[in-house]
Structure 1
Amino acid sequence: MSTGEQDTVRCVLMRGGTSKGLYFHESDLPEPGPVRDRLLKRLMGTPDVLQIDGLGGSRPITSKVAIVAPSTRDDADVDYTFAQIAINHDDIGYTGNCGNISSGVGPFAIDEGLVPAVDGSTEVRIHNTNTGKILHARVPVTGGRAKVDGEFVLPGVPGTGAEILMDWSKTVGAKTGKLLPTGRVVDIIEMADGRHIDATICDAGNPAVWVRASDFGLTGSELSQEINDNATLIEQVRELRGKAAVLAGLCTEWNAVDRDSPGIPLAGFVAPPADHLTLNDSAVAGQDMDLRCRLLFLNRLHESIAGTGSICLAAASRVPGSVVASVAETREEGTLLIGHPSGITPVWVETAPAGTTPSVHFELLGFSRTARRLMDATAYYPRSILIER
């Protein structure tokens, strides 16, 4: 629809897990390419640190897009493309997936009639086009719509909601084709200051590089201001991430990682379990977790734990000799309990022995999330944005 100097596009504003983004039918958008990219960035209000002239929330976890369409694959119901839109840079990235936004794809597909609803529980097979991998979402349904009310508590989200079960076991090697992209359980990364850092580079859900918090002078209980305002630490994380990206084959020059591979690998500091405070100033007990994690995404501390990051962390925790395994204290078989800035989140992980490195096969690798449709929207954008400059 045209209104004066502006055109419109339909979208759904939706919370998926601890993220929030715009969900689109692929058929409502231009073909993939520069025109679509300009449109999505303009709708979000990028580039601008406040995203004041768009629908973004000025944080990486609220500047996300899901594009959904019926799948042409026999093993999937819908195709889903994830886009991470930068905030104060004129960039959009498709290099990885988002676990939290993924948890909203099943409810979106059911409510939009892309998948037949089965009251009780509907399984949605999701083909993520960014990685070529298949996710399985078990969505609670009532009255032909995705259920919202429930008793599941997701740290980082107020209240309770209906539990959506996500199985990511088929996303091992999501981007690089291997759980351990370098073939090594531990890589030694030499930093510019001469330090040699033990790192486990792992690829499940999304690639990530895991290091001990203590190797960077951290406790593992830091909150946003302590990390985001530490310019020296952020530069060290950029270097770590860049050198891990080169080792994993994600870019060729480590100091170009923010340009060539801005979203991946994720970078995470891990530490043994301990009592600490959350962002809401609530106390969490070390005895209730298996380890602490502080995950950085787009060079900022994630306020909880990214869905794909939790999948990768759980996978790495089961690799003998990994940096993650060295700090984790598993309390319950089949589960990894992750302490993060918003609380404690469980990840389901069931393994069987494998004959080749890394000597582990994942029979279940998943998590539970909640999701909620917030708004059916007609989004406006200046028609001039689609004109090639």
Structure 2
Amino acid sequence: MMHSLPCIILRGGTSRGPFLRLDHLPKDDDGRREVLRKVMGSGHVLQIDGLGGGNSLTSKIALIAPPSHPEADVDYLFAQVDVEGDQVDFSPNCGNMLAAVGPYAIETGMVEAKDQVTHLRIHNLNTRTLIDCQVPTPGGRVAYQGDTQISGVPGAGNAIKLGFLGAVGAKTGKLLPSGQVINVIDGIEVTCLDSATPVILIEAASLGWQGNETPAEMDANLEAMARLEKIRLKAGELMGMGDVRGSVLPKPVILSAPRTDTGTLCTRYFVPHRCHGALAVTGAITLAVATSVPGTLANRIALAAGTITADSLTQHVQLEHPAGFLDVEVEHENTDPMTPSRVSLLRTARKIMSGEVFIDLPDSVVMPPRT
């Protein structure tokens, strides 16, 4: 049976996807996943029958709802939709798509726009965390055009500031979920760390990489990629996440010394079976936090490169990635590196289209009535 859903497609940061109302979807997980697969056209390399772009960065969906948290203005549930397969993963958050949540909420009347700047608080349902968001709204309208440039996106846009609050233990509840700063897996030192998202930090040289290879070069190294997945599966167990073969979490991150004068670290982020063309926002936040934690691989590599000092908490971190760099600010309320109070960065967003998306669903999928 053919159904339609109100939809706005927005670019958030370096990602793009449809934004839908959560209450327009089935309440059961199986029905919800079937709808999202149909929306994106998954099961085909080009996602030819849907809105997906044939790439993990353009096969993302943001689901928005009225707030379920007393301190929030809006709820946000992120879905990573497999391009060729049938997986729809609700476990990660996407900080790039998050950049467009505020504009969507204002555009649809869920949040009232203020003059000049609209402040709102977003409750991420994937990680149960709160994010402060500042959206430029001169004259009470979202202003997408501006002069802020971010790596991986052509042109410029208006800066949207995101402040992640209490960014510790998003999925596991612990900053160091294995209980150790360093673990050894398959003969390789790793740091298992969970801030805005759970990651496994690995020094590039330990897998035979320089660390500044292109994503295509890394993907083509089948031996290293197979070993990386073996490490990821074992790390998932050590982090208390169980068997992670069917999940995109935790994410491996390859680290090396920066290649520029201003960089803190050179990074390659995996999603998890392919090297990301840039760097996920949640990954960047976690890496920035990791540089302040003594003994982590991020901290050790940055110290050895002379890009941070041992006698102070890291505040500004510049992370090099294949498309450029990403700047992150880390704040601590006290001198404890294990308890960052806020991690902030700037993103841009753009509204691409607004309308309805049409999907053909089996009768077994029960859609809620629309009011």
TM-score, normalised via structure 2 length: 0.93
Mapped pair 1:146 → 2:142 = yes
Give 1:278's aligned residue: none
1:302 pairs, out of 270, 276, 283, with 276
Question: What is the aligned counterpart of 2:170 among 174, 187, 208?
Answer: 174
* Counterpart residue number, 2:93: 97
Amino acid at match of 2:332: T
Q: Aligned equivalents of 2:96 and 2:364: distance in 1?
A: 30
SS at match of 2:270: strand
Match of 2:82 among 79, 86, 95: 86
Give the superposed CA RMSD. Answer: 1.7
CA shift digits 1:168-213 (9 cap, x unpaired): 1323111111111122111111x2xxxx111111111111010101
Q: Any conservation in 1 of the 2:190–2:297 contact (CA below 8 Å)?
A: yes
Superposition map of 1:29-40 within 5 A:
29-40=25-36
User: What is residue 338 of structure 1 aligned with on the other side?
Assistant: 319
Which letter maps to 1:206? T
Matches within 5 A, 1:68-217: 68-189=64-185, 191=186, 196-217=187-208
**C-alpha separation in 2, matches of 1:41 and 1:144:** 35
Given that 2:167 and 2:342 are in contact with CA atoms closer than 8 Å, whether structure 1 keeps it comes out as no
Q: 237, 244, 253: which is aligned to 1:246?
A: 237
How far 1:378 moved relative to its partner? 1.0
1-side partners of 2:343 and 2:358: how far apart? 40
For residue 354 of structure 1, report the CA deviation from its aligned partner. 4.9
Q: How do residues 1-16 of structure 1 correspond to structure 2 at under 5 angstroms?
A: 6-16=2-12
Partner amino acid for 1:366? S
Q: Which of 45, 58, 64 does residue 60 from structure 2 map onto? A: 64
Give the Cα–Cα distance (whole angstroms) in 1 for the partners of residues 284 and 49 of structure 2: 33
SS at match of 1:378: strand
Q: Distance in 2 between matches of 1:385 and 1:56?
A: 24
Alignment pair present for 1:311 and 2:289: no
* Aligned length, in residue pairs: 359
Residues 252, 272 of structure 2: 8 Å contact kept: no
Name the residue aligned to 2:341: 363
Query: Aligned-pair distance for 1:123?
Result: 1.3
Change (3 A) 1:147 1:385: farther
Contact 1:60 1:298 in 2 (8 A): no
Contact 1:352 1:360 in 2 (8 A): no
Moved more, 318-327 or 25-34: 25-34
Aligned to 2:14: 18
- Describe the superposition over 1:329-381 as per-residue Cα deviations: whole angstroms up to 9, x where unpaired: 436962100110000110111235456xxx43213312110011111131111
2:212 to 215, 221, 232: 221
> Displacement, 1:316?
0.6
CA shift for structure 1 position 122: 1.1
TM-aligned CA deviation for residue 156 of structure 1: 0.3
The answer as to whether partners of 1:135 and 1:171 remain within 8 angstroms in 2 is: no
CA deviation digits over 1:248-278, x for unaligned, max 9? 11124xxxx231xx2211110000012xxxx
Q: Say whether the 8 Å CA contact 1:97–1:308 is kept in structure 2.
A: yes
Letter in 2 for 1:264: L
Structure 1 residues 221 and 317, CA, compared in 2 at 3 Å: closer, same or farther? same
The amino acid of 1:258's aligned partner reads R
- What one-letter code is carried by the residue in structure 1 that aligns with 2:268? R
The answer on 1:258 being equivalent to 2:258 is no
Tell me which moved more, 200-209 or 232-241: 232-241
Once residues 308 and 297 of structure 2 are traced to their aligned partners in structure 1, the CA distance between those partners, rounded to angstroms, is 18
Structure 2: gaps (5+ residues): 367-371
Give identity over the alignment, percent.
Answer: 35
One-letter identity of the residue aligned with 1:309: G
Give 4+ residue runs of structure 1 displaced > 4 Å after superposition.
Answer: 352-355, 385-388
Amino acid of the structure 1 residue aligned with 2:203: R
Calculate the TM-score normalised by the size of structure 1: 0.89
